[in-house]
Amino acid sequence: QAGSGEESKKMKLYSYWRSSCAFRVRIALNLKGLEYEYKAVDLLKGEQTDPEYLKLNPLGYVPTLVDGDAVIADSFAIIMYLEEKYPLRALLPQDCQKRAINYQAANIVSANIQPLQNLAILKYIQEKVGPNETTPWAQSHITKGFEALEKLLKDYAGKYATGDEVYMADLFLAPQIYAAINRFEVDMNQFPTLLRVYEAYQELPAFQDAMPEKQPDASS
């Protein structure tokens, strides 16, 4: 079969439709025009703790990218890998100060917001604190992070977070703002810069095609 060799060369992305970390990587792959095979990992069914999956990703999180012999877990590491291996359509600006702002914005999302709203944490809050406490908990941490991002980006933002080109900061912001609006009922009017750039993402096919509801494993 001539086609099967080609198929096996294609990158594989282990993803869950609602995972904001997988969402970031889907945007990066789309922007770079890289084809990949979508491998669904159902977090609600616990497929991330399957021994076969844990061989790929010892933490049992999504996403994981398999590119030939390379197996990379963690969205930040995957995006940096893609940037270095497939430099076409750069996800980082040349200017080192602007580049640092991108790292900073990405880290505010990936270190200070997203981990505090992931499924395991929300489940813990629900069980230990109370069933009605998950949304206020998530809202408070998202709001704190968004206040910092709003201040950080207001002097750098153009059409997008750090100017008129889409860069790494945008890849982290889009899924986080999506979750804030669609899952955690955060009022985005208090963050005009973030809301404006988020609205600009809606017009980009690379972002649209990465949306949770467009993924093969999406459910209502």
pLDDT in tens, 69-128: 999 999 999 999 999 999 999 999 999 999 999 999 999 999 998 878 877 788 888 999
Tell whether 138 and 169 lie within a shared domain. Answer: yes
**CA dist., res. 109 & res. 107, Å (int):** 5
The CATH number of whichever domain residue 162 belongs to comes to 1.20.1050.10
Query: Which of 41, 63, 89 is the last residue before a domain boundary?
Result: 89
* Count of domains observed in the chain: 2
Query: Which of 59, 89, 119 is the last residue before a domain boundary?
Result: 89
Tell whether 65 and 106 lie within a shared domain. Answer: no
CB 49, CB 60: distance < 8 Å: yes
Q: Which residues contact 164 (CB under 8 A, 6 or more apart)?
A: 158
Burial of 59 (0-12, 13-18, 19+ CB in 10 A): exposed
Burial of 196 (0-12, 13-18, 19+ CB in 10 A): middle
Tell whether 116 and 58 lie within a shared domain. Answer: no
Tell whether 68 and 168 lie within a shared domain. Answer: no
Tell whether 117 and 35 lie within a shared domain. Answer: no
Reported confidence tier of residue 160, pLDDT bands at 50, 70, 90: very high
CB 47, CB 17: distance < 8 Å: no
Domain interval for residue 16: 12-89
Residues paired with 70 in a beta bridge = 67
Tell whether 100 and 204 lie within a shared domain. Answer: yes
What is the residue type of 83? E
Q: What is the pTM assigned to this prediction?
A: 0.92
